[in-house]
Amino acid sequence: MTHPRRQGSNYWILAPYVRQQWPTIAKAMFGTLIFVGYWPILAWLSGQVLALLAEGNVPAVSRLIAVTMAGFAVQKVGQYIQDSFMSKAALEVAFKVRRQVYTHIHDLSLAYFERSQTGDLAYRLTEDIDRIGEVVLKLFHDFIPSLLQLIVVVGYMVYLNWQLTLTAMVLIPLLAVLAGWFGNQMLKSSRRSQNLVSDLSSLVTEVFSGIRLVRAFAAEDYEIERFTQEAEKNRQAKYRAAWLQAVQYPVVGFLYGLVVVMILLMGTWQISQGNLTGASFGSYVIAALMLIDPVNHFIHNYSEFKQGEASVDRIVELLDIEPAVRELPNAIELPPVTGRVEYRNLTFGYDPTEPILRNLDLIALPGEKIALVGASGAGKSTLVNLLPRFYDPQSGQVLIDDVDIATVSLRSLRRQIGIVPQENTLFSGTIAQNIAFGQKEFDIKAVEEAARVANAHDFISQFSQGYYTWVGERGVNLSGGQRQRVAIARAVLLNPRILILDEATSALDAESEALVQEALERIMRDRTVFIIAHRLATVRRADRILVIEKGQIIESGTHSELLAQKSRYAQFYAQQFAVESSP
């Protein structure tokens, strides 16, 4: 669902979601009409009861009270219908918005995630959208019923005595102005408060993710101080909002008290002039008292809507971010590939004004093992990140089997490219679920076979629950070498024709590295493989080694050929060999 952007309040973006719930909302509104329609009847009945009480007519009072209670029962049924269906509709709207926003986030480029705060995204997906759901609920469950109650009861008051009602309405414009001012101040306070809460959430996420480093540097006091400062800012912002509400209610209540006094004075005068009976005035006073609750609800809801508007603004801000990598509307499915990869006159930079890769040309033949070496920042990882379209080049093309990858669907492209990164991410779940990542249903035998190829089956079998062992958040229950082998098994199960190994063994101890290297040798067979490695010992057996410097390929050949050239690769090799040989 796309949303055309408009000026002013962003609440309009909820309209499509609300329209989808209209059958449920209509049922709720039916209950609202029953609930609201009884108020003028109750006011009339109350006036009659007061008059009969003055006459001492107990039997008639008893009958009217019985009728009143029966009416109350019907009204409460209407209230139940309103509340139950509106809760259902509001929760459904929040669910739809949350799913839409989450889907949109998945469409955003990696560049967005690299500069965004995880805690902020989590806050928008949870607290902000929950607040939006509460606003929708308040709108139909509270705001509209209160508005209808005001209209119906005021209409009845006009019917009883328009002069008295006109007197009561004198202060209404002032109440409206005050409500608007308080609402705008509440919006500003809420925006600041919610931004600070998201900052606090991001700080907590960041610190807990790096808790080992915090402990290692004995930086607990430093982090507690940072947390305290952010929490204090949040406290002050929330107090500002609470202070505004604390001022708002006494001011509005005082003005409403003035209205009641004016009604009593004017009503007494109207009775003395013979324009109003005692029973009618009793009904009028009861009706006026019935306005207290909806007026308070109206003002309170307006304040909450302004607070909710800050959440809506933050969601719209997120939805306004355009994906940097877009799938064409007529994108084709990439058929099973042989693995021929071509970079044609390609230029790319994360900042378009500062290209990392410049006019680069490269062809990898099916089944060829290509190693990319060079200094940090030369463009090695950038080059392979363009292959699954994590980014799009500013100019040039990337082709697989002579098909421009910009013309194919992202899913069909990425399902044919396996990636084993340096830092593997495992998700909460079982080992089997992590190996079969992205598959709702999977064959456990195929998972086991993939684990065997990845040298992971033996250590998995040692767990009491085997493949159904829970790995913990980010795979905390597994060692680095075990996580890496699970990641290799994940790539094996995908059975891709193209494989990217990005520093796949650099962070491992010698024993783990040997097991992982053996597994990698096994899965590289008959696949086109791009290997990124700083440790040149791991790229010696590559079919071709490319030396990348300043975004261009400056050398190409086998290990022995490049050593014989005694140029840049030979320098890298000599420097690394000297370091590794030193005591």
pLDDT digits (tens, 9 = 90+) for 42-99: 777 777 777 777 666 778 878 888 888 888 888 888 888 988 888 888 888 888 888 8
3-state percent helix, strand, coil for the chain, nearest multiple of 5: 65, 10, 25
Residue 540 corresponds to which tokens in the numbers above?
A: 């010696």
Residue 448 has pLDDT above 80, yes or no: yes
Residue 100 has pLDDT above 70, yes or no: yes
On average, the pLDDT of the chain sits at 80
User: How far apart are the C-alpha atoms of 226 and 220, rounded to whole Å?
Assistant: 10
Residue 5 has pLDDT above 60, yes or no: no
Residue 266 has pLDDT above 50, yes or no: yes
Residue 241 corresponds to which tokens in the numbers above?
A: 């909002």
Please provide the size of the chain in residues.
583
> Of the CATH numbers 3.30.465.10, 3.40.109.10, 3.40.50.850, 3.40.50.300, which one belongs to the domain with range 338-416+535-583?
3.40.50.300
- Percentage of residues in the chain having pLDDT higher than 70: 82
| Terminal Cα distance for the chain, rounded | 63
Residue 176 corresponds to which tokens in the numbers above?
A: 């409206």
What pLDDT score was predicted for residue 103?
Answer: 86
User: How far apart are the C-alpha atoms of 234 and 228, rounded to whole Å?
Assistant: 10
pTM, rounded to two decimals? 0.69
- Give 383's pLDDT tier (boundaries 50, 70, 90): very high
What pLDDT score was predicted for residue 583?
Answer: 45
Give me the mean pLDDT over the 162-170 stretch. 72
Residue 395 corresponds to which tokens in the numbers above?
A: 């100019």
User: How far apart are the C-alpha atoms of 383 and 396, rounded to whole Å?
Assistant: 13
What pLDDT score was predicted for residue 158?
Answer: 81
Residue 441 corresponds to which tokens in the numbers above?
A: 């249903």
Q: CB neighbours (10 Å) of residue 62? A: 12
- Percentage of residues in the chain having pLDDT higher than 90: 11
What CA–CA distances, in Å, run from 485 to 45, 69, 480? 79, 72, 9
Rg of the chain in Å (alpha carbons): 35
What pLDDT score was predicted for residue 63?
Answer: 82
Q: Distance from CA of residue 33 to its chain's centroid?
A: 36
User: How far apart are the C-alpha atoms of 309 and 135, rounded to whole Å?
Assistant: 9
Amino acid sitting at position 138: K
CATH architecture of 11-319: Up-down Bundle (1.20)
Helix (H, G, I), strand (E, B) or coil at 551: coil
What pLDDT score was predicted for residue 512?
Answer: 63
What pLDDT score was predicted for residue 87?
Answer: 86
What pLDDT score was predicted for residue 1?
Answer: 44
Give me the mean pLDDT over the 347-365 stretch. 89
User: How far apart are the C-alpha atoms of 394 and 354, rounded to whole Å?
Assistant: 11
What pLDDT score was predicted for residue 343?
Answer: 94
Burial class (CB within 10 angstroms; exposed 0-12, middle 13-18, buried 19+) of 571: exposed
User: How far apart are the C-alpha atoms of 82 and 553, rounded to whole Å?
Assistant: 69
* 461 vs 263, residue with greater confidence: 461
- Give 176's pLDDT tier (boundaries 50, 70, 90): low
Give domain limits for the chain.
11-319, 338-416+535-583
User: How far apart are the C-alpha atoms of 26 and 17, rounded to whole Å?
Assistant: 14
Given the DSSP bridges, would you call strands 357-364 and 417-420 parallel, antiparallel or unpaired?
unpaired
Calculate ∠ Cα 216-222-226, nearest 5°.
130
User: How far apart are the C-alpha atoms of 26 and 511, rounded to whole Å?
Assistant: 67
User: How far apart are the C-alpha atoms of 496 and 492, rounded to whole Å?
Assistant: 7
Residue 549, beta-bridge partner list: 552
Give me the mean pLDDT over the 396-415 stretch. 92
User: How far apart are the C-alpha atoms of 168 and 262, rounded to whole Å?
Assistant: 7
Q: CB neighbours (10 Å) of residue 11? A: 18
